[in-house]
Amino acid sequence: MTGLLTQWQGAALLIVYAASMLGLTLLLHHYAEGKEEFLVGRREIGMWPAAFSIAATWVWAPALFVAAQKAYQEGVAGVFWFTVPNALCLVLFAFFAERLRRRVPHGYTLPSFMGDRYSSRVQGAYLFQMVSLATCSFAVQLLAGGAAISLLTGMPFWFVTVALAATALSYSLWSGIRASVATDYAQMVIILLVALTIIPWAVYAAGGLEVIARGLGGVSGQYASVFNADVALAFGLPVTIGLLSGPFGDQSFWQRAWSVREKDVRRAFIWAAVIFALVPLTLCVPGFLAAGMGLAVASPQMVNLETILTLLPAWVAIPFAFMLLSGLISTLDSNLCAISGLAGHDAWEKTWVKGDPMIAARWAMVGLAVAGIAIANIPGLSILHLFLFYGTLRASTLLPTVMTILDMRLTERGVFWGIVFAIAVGLPIFAYGNFGGGLWWTVGGSLLTVLSSGAVAWLISRQDERAFVRVFQG
């Protein structure tokens, strides 16, 4: 499967894609100069553009492969535990996003809100978490997507990572969040059109729905029920825990909550969940086909592409590559916009960066792109390394964020040390489980990271409250 396209064809593909996204941005939006326009689109983005943008941002490049891999290896159970938590976490987030938007209608970032509510050091903890998340997420997209594009085209990996980062950077620098939303909309449409065209064709070529039916239990035939306990415990529980904290710990989603029209916030995120769900529910089909045909694949991670190219002409690799680029770059530009908000609002407001906030915002984008390229090209670095780091970081702030939005009585000291404890204790345990410690260490580390931040924050806050009462009464 290596080098299905020549290097020249791959280069042409990247140039056409980059020109299309940049051209779309230049056609629809002028150069954004003000902070309100660049960071939050004057808070007037419509529901449907926002919904498609949120869904596209949630479809990161490896997710285009995971649904089919799970269908092939773990059947219906694997697909269920990948798709349902992914969609439900956006639905859950919709209600919190709406609540915070109404509470702070002219906000920009979650760290800024937490800093106003508690202190600069709490804001600093959130900034550390979200900047780390944006950096690692950007690098993960380049690492995973760059490897896949390099495999398809034979182009050098480093060159692909630079080209992908430059593509997202080109239009994001022009008009910020508006460019991200406009291109995300187009990218999500590309993903759906390609999937809904190629997949039915592949089903027909394989022999029809009966082949899918034979593959519902996975290649082993053991996973035809969504209630399979092994899959639920080993995959479903850790994934659900990690996904729940996903949008809550990612400035990309809070930025969209402050960019969409206030009356459309909740509906935009709920529709995004529906739109997103169409992707894994469609792209899981090649995995079922491969299992039903008894196809021996070289790499389960690439089972969708291997199955499609077994059944369909080789030129199908071109639209598949367009779909992959869309899933990849939609997340890259969202990361760039997220870092621009953190630099252009938080850092500038705190005078950590002097001068025009738009200069800080745009230079932060460039810095993120350079850092992401450098990290992705570290020899021997794996997706797992980066995922462990930023997945645990975003989980550490989940409960303090939720409890604060729900107006639960937390103190500054409680929130800060709750986050520190979760990172210091949860990350090593979770990492140990993933690097050979076993399932229970992994699950325990996930639960400890999520729950300890809230528990420590609550206990210290109650202690502070009792101390205050004693001083007041005395």
Domain limit, last residue, from 354, 377, 400:
377
Is 209 in the same domain as 343? Answer: yes
Cα dihedral value 118, 391, 382, 234, nearest 10: 160
Cα–Cα dist 378/146, whole Å: 13
Instruction: Find the farthest-apart pair of alpha carbons in the chain and give their distance in angstroms, rounded.
Output: 82
- Residue 252 pLDDT greater than 90, yes or no: yes
pTM of the predicted model, to two decimals?
0.91
Long-range contacts of 10-16 (CB under 8 A, 24+ apart): 10/149, 10/152, 10/153, 10/154, 10/155, 10/321, 11/153, 11/155, 13/153, 13/318, 13/321, 13/322, 13/325, 14/149, 14/160, 14/163, 14/164, 14/167, 14/325
Is 161 in the same domain as 224? Answer: yes
The residues near 151 (Cβ < 8 Å, ≥ 6 apart) are 1, 2, 3, 302
Is 1 within a domain? no
- Residue 472 pLDDT greater than 70, yes or no: no
Q: In terms of residue numbers, what domain contains 165?
A: 7-377
The pLDDT assigned to 426 comes to 77
Is 291 in the same domain as 401? Answer: no
Amino acid, res. 443: V
Is 367 in the same domain as 403? Answer: no
Is 313 in the same domain as 170? Answer: yes
Q: Please choose, from the candidates 372, 435, 376, the residue with its C-alpha nearest in 3D space to the C-alpha of residue 148.
A: 376
- Quick one: pLDDT band at residue 293, thresholds 50, 70, 90? very high
SS3 at position 260: strand
CATH number, domain of 334, equals 1.20.1730.10
The pLDDT assigned to 447 comes to 79
Is 322 in the same domain as 415? Answer: no
Is 351 in the same domain as 464? Answer: no
Is 352 in the same domain as 410? Answer: no
Is 323 within a domain? yes
Is 337 in the same domain as 434? Answer: no
Cα–Cα dist 290/310, whole Å: 10
Q: Please choose, from the candidates 128, 174, 179, the residue with its C-alpha nearest in 3D space to the C-alpha of residue 358.
A: 174
- Quick one: pLDDT band at residue 388, thresholds 50, 70, 90? low
Is 445 within a domain? yes
Is 252 within a domain? yes
Is 397 in the same domain as 284? Answer: no
Is 53 in the same domain as 101? Answer: yes
Is 334 in the same domain as 424? Answer: no
Q: Please choose, from the candidates 415, 190, 91, the residue with its C-alpha nearest in 3D space to the C-alpha of residue 83.
A: 91
Is 397 within a domain? yes
Is 24 within a domain? yes
